[in-house]
Structure 1
Amino acid sequence: MAQTPAKAPVRPLSGIFKGVKYAVNEPFITGALLYILTRGPADIRGRILGPFRTNLLSKNGTQRLAKLITALKWLTAIGVAKRINLGLNRLALNNWTFGRPGAPFEFGPSKRELVVITGGSSGFGYEMVKLFANKARVIVLDVSPFPDELARLSDVYFYRCDVTDTPAVVNLCDEIRKTHGNPSVLINNAGIGIGKTVLETSNEQCEKLFQVNLISHFVLIREFLPDMLKMKKGHIVTIASMASFHAAPGLLDYCCSKVGALYLNDGIRAECLTRYPGGEGICTTSVHPSWHQTGILNSTVTKTLQKHGIVPDPAINVSKLVVDQVLAARSGRLHVPLSEESKSGIRYWPMWYQDMMMGYVFPKSKKGFEFGKDKDSKLSE
């Protein structure tokens, strides 16, 4: 069950820096300022520049102002280019359509759609079950007991299931189809983490992690995608992670499983666009949360993170975005929070810059957080 995190300590300088960074990267702000300084009314321009006449513009004011205008031109052009790139990426991720081909979804009080959620007893899944309950029939697969508050919801059905047992999963999927019909939404949400280095992790632990975090996705997609194609509608949601984009020491198995989940999402999208009749009606969404309070983070790790200024957000922040995405019948890639989106390109940074930013080169502070560094930073024993 999601917990409300403690409030993060207030850092005025950090807030100012974020504000300046936002303004510099927002073309509406830089463009507006550029227009005012070059074509705006003289009185408004005077009010803006007035406070700087006695300091920054007191010497060589004309040249400095010209340099500022040049910088604003570049910032505006780069910002517009980024916006265009972002828009084209979102269009591509939505199968190059502004809407969605295929049969319409019928979410609402009639509950004609059937949603399958793995790992629905806690964390993101728990919140998604609650949010979907009024819009669709919901099937929950989880190895953990089902909370009473969810069991009381109407048209919500729980199946105790270990997703690492492939034959059992296949049999259960057949039972679901016979009892409830064909799911139109599959949310591969179940996930586990260990938080130890490779040499501290056993083969059995590693195999189980990949079975839960990745192999089960393949199994369930094979079970439910064929009928989605026949219905000409479907949505496959993959709960990946920001770990999909970075191989963090002490978390390598988890990161590898999550980059695999991302590639599976992207690959299924490509196959639906090119190989499967009716595939254009299938939505695919990968979700990349950062620090969020789910069952993966035990209480000890959560407290350790908070000591380092990292306060996990509530699970509902992710779950609501996922449900909104499904109800809107949009494909895409969700970074939560949105500010994390820029970090998804970390693999394209120069290697020397990656090493410097991650602290691999210069001596790091002993106070820095790293998974698996000590007993308080391990997700499981």
Structure 2
Amino acid sequence: MASITAPEKPVSPLAKIASLPIDTVKYVAREPVLTGGLLYLLTRGPPHIRERILQPFRNNLLSANGAARLASLITILKLLTAWGAVKKANKALNRLALNNWTLGRPGASFRFGNTKEEIVVITGGSSGFGYEMVKGFSKYARVIVLDVSPFPAELSRLSDVHYYRCDVTDNAQVQSICEDIRRTHGDPSVLINNAGIGIGKTVLETSNEECEKLFKVNLISHFVLIREFLPAMLRMRKGHIVTIASMASFVAAPGLLDYCCSKVGALYLNDGIRAECLSRYPGGEGICTTSVHPSWHSTGILKGQEDALKKHGIHPDPPSNVSNLVLKQVLKAKSGRLVVPASEEGKTGLRGYPVWLQDVLLGNVFKRKDEFGFGKNL
């Protein structure tokens, strides 16, 4: 739904061009292959290549104290290469761990394609991310949609797409519909817990009823549906549980506390189910788990606030950016954690920062109470 940091102003094309040299330097500095290659050429490479690299700087940067400055550059390259290599290794190990510590596909193989042997259940499929995912998955599998909202006519015309009007806050209704799905269509191998709502009020402005409904939709329904469909996935030795969480999983944002808490819970449920599948359930190694963390995207949660958001420099991305990544992730049968856009990934570690630094970055220190934020009139 929402970014966890202050909104950024849109960047003009001219500003993008002007920042290109700086962006290039940043890119090179973060790539250990590039910094390591340059380090090798400057320290162990052929003399004529080393001289060709340094020649443009002989009459300026290296004209005075050239040897000392070159030594400093080499030290910086060593640090950048080591730091970059550690980050790359950490990222690779995280991907390996999230994919149940295997490079391949444990358990039985999925059969996506024209034969549509797999069944994908999507909650909240009538709009937003769910709407786009229904369109995407309908090409490769049979799709079951659970949503309290009416089903769009254009989706109902898709082949092998079936809609159940379902209030996911009603546990008895959910269980009854799940039984009907198994009896009529078979056992789903993919569950996408996508349905979600937001209130956008402070704790004191939110009623108990509103808060309870939000948690039932955004979190409790996940537990109910996992209990319904995971047992068959374990028997089949294949399954994929996709949790649509949020960048709000990583911070307690004023005016969104109930939403953030539900998304923290969704993230922990995803991680906990992965751990239980690895350590408790026979056949659990064949179950994929993926949590998805979108930033600002044009979904129903932001409906009616578009103009106000633009005034504050927020331009939500289309929901297809998220649905396309989810489709790709499920089709390749890999577990993972998707941050959309990927540029937001660094913010997932915000909770590990010192509290004082979190306050500064989130604007809790100097921010006026009448500035932009949820829980007030935008």
Normalising to structure 1: TM-score of the pair? 0.92
Q: CA 1:299–1:44 in structure 2 vs 1: closer, same or farther (change >3 Å)?
A: farther
Choose the corresponding residue for 1:216, options 210, 221, 227.
221
1:132-281 counterparts in 2 under 5 A?
Answer: 132-281=137-286
Whole-Å Cα distance in 2 between the matches of residues 118 and 297 of structure 1?
Answer: 18
Q: Residue 25 of structure 1: CA displacement? A: 1.6
Alignment size in residue pairs: 368
Point out where structure 1 has 5 or more consecutive residues left out of the alignment. 1-6, 377-381
Per the TM alignment, residue 44 of structure 1 is displaced from its structure 2 partner at its CA by: 4.1
- Deviation by residue 1:286-326 (Cα, 9 ceiling, x = unmatched): 111111111111232x2222223222111111101101111
Distance in 2 between residues matched to 1:262 and 1:305, nearest whole Å: 26
Instruction: Write the letter of the residue equivalent to 1:375.
Output: N
CA contact (8 A) 1:8 1:309 kept: no
Question: Which residue, 298, 316, 335 being the options, matches 1:331?
Answer: 335
Residue equivalent to 1:3: none
Distance across 1 between alignment mates of 2:332 and 2:216? 30
Q: Counterpart of 1:313 in 2: which secondary structure?
A: coil
1:1-381 matches, cutoff 5 A: 9-10=12-13, 11-12=15-16, 17-300=22-305, 302-363=306-367, 369-372=372-375, 374-376=376-378
| TM-score when normalising by structure 2 | 0.93
Aligned mates of 1:309, 1:196 — CA distance in 2: 21
- Kindly indicate whether the alpha-carbon contact (under 8 Å) linking 1:305 and 1:369 is maintained by their aligned counterparts in 2: no
Distance 1:188 1:139 in 2: 12
Q: Deviations over 1:6-47 (max 9, x none)?
A: x85343366555443332221122112212222334444444
User: Secondary structure, in 3 states, of the residue corresponding to 1:99?
Assistant: coil
- In structure 2, the CA distance between the partners of 1:41 and 1:370, relative to structure 1 (3 Å rule), is farther
Note closer, same or farther for the CA distance 1:108–1:346 as it changes in structure 2 (3 Å cut): same
Match of 2:3 in 1: none
Whole-Å separation in 2 of the counterparts to 1:109 and 1:355: 51
Mapped partners of 1:175, 1:354: distance in 2: 48
Structure 2 residue runs without a partner (length 5+): 1-9
SS at 1:72 equivalent = helix
Partner of 2:6: none
Query: Residues 23 and 308 (structure 1 numbering): CA distance in 2 closer, same or farther, change over 3 Å?
Result: farther
Residue 178 of structure 1: SS of its match in structure 2?
A: helix
* Identity %, equivalent residues: 71
Q: Could you tell me whether the CA contact under 8 Å between 1:31 and 1:73 is conserved in 2?
A: yes
Taking the aligned partners of 1:17 and 1:202, their CA distance within structure 2 comes to: 49
Matched AA of 1:313: D
- Contact 1:241-1:290 at 8 Å conserved across structures: yes
Residues 48 and 364 (structure 1 numbering): CA distance in 2 closer, same or farther, change over 3 Å? farther
Letter in 1 for 2:142: R
Q: CA–CA distance in 1 between the matches of 2:275 and 2:77?
A: 39
Question: Does the 8 Å CA contact 1:8/1:311 hold for their aligned counterparts?
Answer: no
- Counterpart residue type for residue 177 of structure 1: R
Cα offset for 1:260? 0.3
Secondary structure of 2:351's aligned partner: helix
1:171-215 per-residue CA deviation (whole Å, 9 max, x = no partner) reads 110111111111000000001111111111111111111110000
**In structure 2, do the counterparts of structure 1 residues 285 and 350 end up closer, same or farther at CA, with 3 Å as the change threshold?**
same
Distance 1:38 1:316, change over 3 A: same
**Corresponding residue SS for 2:64:** coil
- The one-letter code sitting in structure 1 at the alignment partner of 2:119 is L
Aligned residue identity for 1:209: L
CA RMSD of aligned residues (A): 1.9
State the secondary structure of the residue aligned to 2:260. helix
